[in-house]
Structure 1
Amino acid sequence: MPWMERPDRCRRARPLLGTLVEIEARGRAAARAVEAGFAAVARVQQLMSRFDPASDISRLNAAPVGQPEQVDIATASVLALGAELQSASGGQFSCTPGASPATDTLPTWTMAGGFISKHAPVRFDLGGIAKGYAVDCAIEAMLAIMGDAGELALVNAGGDMRHAGIEPVQVALREPGEPARIARVLTLANAALASSAVGGLAPEAGAAPRITCGPGTPGTGPGRGLPPDAGATVLAPTCMHADALTKVVLLCGDPEHPLLARYHACTLLYRDGTLAPARA
């Protein structure tokens, strides 16, 4: 019997979050744990996708300035981390890309008691940070089913990955901008990692960057120009933090940004867009 069909081992993949989500479990009730993981990911997509007109994010984007809009507690928690990172990074990270930077006296949006109020015509896009949160939710859902009998729980959503269990996994990290080249091999054990590349996995000449600084945002490092082959991979306890911190590293041009230590994270690979390969 193939290992994927055994009752204690299951691995499946489904299109979600704009990518292919792969979930693997080994241990008691592995197949049920995998299904629970997919259900958790689907719920985050339903809440936070800007392409779903019924999602919290779409409703926020459609709401008039000044009108409070209630969001799910999950959406509120992701927005809260986004606001925290925006403040701590001096505005380099933002959940409202392209918006003018906020000031202490005039924030672009505020949150109180699960209600979000826009104070400017901004548009929210949780993007990768929501994808990382979905991975975390999937892992927690799987562990709730497998408990101590879980040998391995692994979720990979287009490069946003988190592992839990007693069996570590080997992960090949690809060179930013050069997906055919393996930059290093990592043993992942009860941790998460995320990779972000400004131009995607294989940037095309003249293509618009996927990660950009907002207008008026001060540059604080060589990452200000954001060349299309710049990229970073960050290791952190949760995938939501790992994904968000890749953006901070790139936007600030600093692979040793102080926020990494605050969240017990580190940069595994960093390429600033020069001809040099990524470095640890």
Structure 2
Amino acid sequence: MPHPGWSTFSFEGIGTHWEISTPMVLAADVRDRLLDTVEDYDRTWSRFRADSAVSALATAPGSIPLPAHSAELAAAYATLYRLSGGAMTPLAGSSLERLGYDAGYSLVPSGAAAPPPRWEDVLEWTGPTLTAREPLVLDVGAAGKGQLVDLLGAVLQEAGHTDFLVDASGDMLHAGSHPVRVALEHPYNPRQAIGVVDLDNAALCASAANRRAWGDGLHHIIDGTTGLPVRTTVATWTIAACALEADALATALFLVEPEQLETAFDFSWLRVFSEGLATYSAAFEGRLFT
């Protein structure tokens, strides 16, 4: 929770609730820049709106220009695609649509689960230009919200704010002289916590199979090698220097053993499995309740 007495600017964006907490009320022009940043990001990346840049690739191959920050997103995805053997991919959108998590939120499967195309076969994305060799559904949701958290943090810093908490429904970035205590939500009961962590000038992100779930065993975390939702892990938390990496790694922990991820990323982590067991890294500075 933010510190007592702090001001909170709340709004809806990219399909989630946001709260930005600061010691002083944000100026109107800063609030406008924050909202514009969210709108620009959604207009670029959302597969749920027909006017987004990536939606054009769903109907025809071609190239689209992207903002400069897309290079960081591409690099994170490329590394995780390699480490996961293709299990974590920005092309999982086609698999999600087949299972019913489509632009119209039908939540009704249109066919049997199927893996998405392989990155190396259909996609070129190494910087601010993305080229699709065939129609494809791009979905950067596994890391995009985290990157947007970072971008809003940058807006605050550019406006002179050194103390803040950006909270995108549990994906957070903290800056300032005093840590904030954050509850870790129980994966099966959102009214309970399984522990707490003191967040101190870092990002904390979570991923849970119950957050976007529909039908029997259907949820949004897809194994790109099979097109099927992951079954064994039910919730993850990660702490890293930036929210882009923390968000991406929270999803990657459903698909890759943490030791593999630690070869390329500096982060701490907690995993909860379907049978109720939990594992965590030595550097995870949280406290679990017994």
- Short-chain TM bin: 0.7 to 0.9
* 1:31 to 1:171, Cα distance in 2 relative to 1, 3 A: farther
Going by fraction, where is helix more abundant, 1 or 2? 1
Structure 2: distance between partners of 1:239 and 1:82: 14
Which ranges in structure 1 are unaligned for 5 or more consecutive residues?
Answer: 218-223
Q: 1:43 aligned to 32, 40, 44, which one?
A: 40
Where 2:143 maps in the other structure, the secondary structure is: helix
Q: 2:51 aligned to 31, 50, 54, which one?
A: 54
Task: Give the stretch that moved more between structures: 80-89 or 168-177.
Answer: 80-89
Q: CA deviation at 1:183?
A: 1.1
Structure 1: distance between partners of 2:229 and 2:159: 46
Q: Which amino acid aligns with 2:159?
A: I
1:158 equivalenced with 2:169 (yes/no) = yes
Counting aligned pairs with the same residue, the percent is: 25
1:92 equivalenced with 2:87 (yes/no) = yes
Structure 2: distance between partners of 1:118 and 1:239: 27
Q: CA deviation at 1:50?
A: 1.4
| TM-score w.r.t. length of structure 2 | 0.77
Q: 1:260 aligned to 252, 259, 262, which one?
A: 262
1:75 equivalenced with 2:70 (yes/no) = yes
- Residue 239 of structure 2: aligned partner: 235
Map residues 1-280 of structure 1 onto 2, 5 A cutoff.
Answer: 9-26=6-23, 30-31=26-27, 33-64=30-61, 67-97=62-92, 98=95, 99-100=115-116, 102=118, 106-111=120-125, 114-146=128-160, 150=162, 152-200=163-211, 206-216=216-226, 226-227=230-231, 230-252=234-256, 254=257, 256-260=258-262, 262-267=264-269, 269-274=270-275, 276-280=276-280
Given that 2:83 and 2:260 are in contact with CA atoms closer than 8 Å, whether structure 1 keeps it comes out as: no
The C-alpha deviation readout for 1:142-179, integer Å capped at 9, x for no partner, is 011115xx3x2111112111101112111111122332
Given that 1:110 and 1:118 are in contact with CA atoms closer than 8 Å, whether structure 2 keeps it comes out as: yes
Q: Which amino acid aligns with 2:70?
A: T
Kindly tell me the number of residue pairs found equivalent between the two proteins. 256
The C-alpha deviation readout for 1:60-99, integer Å capped at 9, x for no partner, is 33332xx222223233442332223212322121100034
Given that 2:218 and 2:229 are in contact with CA atoms closer than 8 Å, whether structure 1 keeps it comes out as: no
Where 1:146 maps in the other structure, the secondary structure is: coil
Given that 1:171 and 1:187 are in contact with CA atoms closer than 8 Å, whether structure 2 keeps it comes out as: yes
Task: Give the stretch that moved more between structures: 155-164 or 91-100.
Answer: 91-100
Q: CA deviation at 1:107?
A: 2.9
The C-alpha deviation readout for 1:239-279, integer Å capped at 9, x for no partner, is 11111111111123x3x232235221111x211211x2544
- Residue 110 of structure 2: aligned partner: none
Structure 2: distance between partners of 1:128 and 1:158: 14
Q: Give me the CA root mean square deviation.
A: 2.8
* 1:187 to 1:70, Cα distance in 2 relative to 1, 3 A: same
